Amino acid sequence: MGKRVRKNNKRKVKKINPIALLIIFIIVIFLTPRFVSTAKYVYNVIHEHYLSSKDFYFSSDKLSINHTEYEITNNWSGAEPYVITINMSSKQNDMSYTESDIEYSITYTCSDNIQCTLNKNTSTIVGTKNHGVNEDYFTISISPNGNSALGEGEKAWIDITATSTSPYSQTLSGKLILEVGSAEITYEIIDAANQPYLTVNITNSQSIGADITLTYNPEIVLLDMTSRFRLSSTDDDTQQLNGHAYLKSITSHVESLSTTTIRFYKNDSTQDYSYSPGSGITPVISLSH
């Protein structure tokens, strides 16, 4: 009688392939929102560096490659139309710039409590090859949606995207957040380094108009003499520089529930004179009323 063969009832356990496990782990990590956001940021930085190696520069004072959030507080009454200027540039500095023209398109979305209007949907930053100054701008006008004004502290937003279409493709975007200010007179200075001019926005949220005086050093900034603020001025004061008289202060009327924009040209374009209420810095242009 032959020997009975004893069967081994132990189940055979399959070994997990460590390479497959690693691949699964990497895929899971890659799909997490934080990693996707970081990867997108890194890609945008590398892409921008690649384009700059081709002498292609596409930038803005309020938009960026990684979607800037730009807050504008206490400078809109929430009642009248408010115009925001977005400056565009095709130069890194006075030594690095794009010679060719850069064509770009603009799109936007707005919060439900406002209406928005672009002054143009496409534009061109003219390069030095065509005797340009590597600068351009566009504006977006906002107003309350409906017949009633927005209340103090209420917020609205505009999400803007500018995409270059020639000679290379690059996207800049940003979310502009506006907060309705209190019933008073406020102002801000909008500026950026390597920009030849700055913009002063004066907002009168009161129910009556007011005479506003701007005081500044003409050795630092010079008023745009074609501005409506200058043409309707009621008083001014001058300072002698190199045998010429330059304005150092000017007074003009600002209507109630309105925003007035004035441009000043900088003697040193490399400086950034940005100012907003509560920033803790001394503005190059002071306001009194």
Strand bridging mode 185-190 / 258-266: unpaired
- The predicted pLDDT at position 13 comes to 47
What is the residue-level pLDDT of the chain in tens, covering all 289 positions? 555 555 555 555 455 555 655 566 555 555 555 555 556 665 566 666 667 777 889 999 899 988 888 887 666 778 878 888 899 999 888 788 899 999 999 999 999 999 999 999 999 999 999 998 899 999 999 999 887 788 888 899 999 999 999 898 999 999 999 888 766 888 999 998 888 999 999 988 777 889 999 999 999 999 999 999 999 999 999 999 989 999 999 999 998 878 899 999 999 999 999 998 877 889 999 999 9
CB of 57 within 8 A of CB of 98?
A: yes
This prediction has a pTM of 0.58
Contacts of 114 (CB under 8 A, 6+ apart): 142, 143, 144, 145, 150, 156, 158
Got the DSSP string for 224-270? -TTSHHHHTEEEEEEEEETTEEEEEEEEEEE-TTEEEEEEEEESSTT
- The predicted pLDDT at position 191 comes to 92
Cα–Cα distance, 193 to 186 (Å, whole number): 23
- The predicted pLDDT at position 258 comes to 82
* One-letter identity of residue 110: C
Kindly list the distances between the CA atom of residue 223 and the CA atoms of 138, 218, 267, 274, in Å, as whole numbers in the listed order. 21, 8, 11, 16
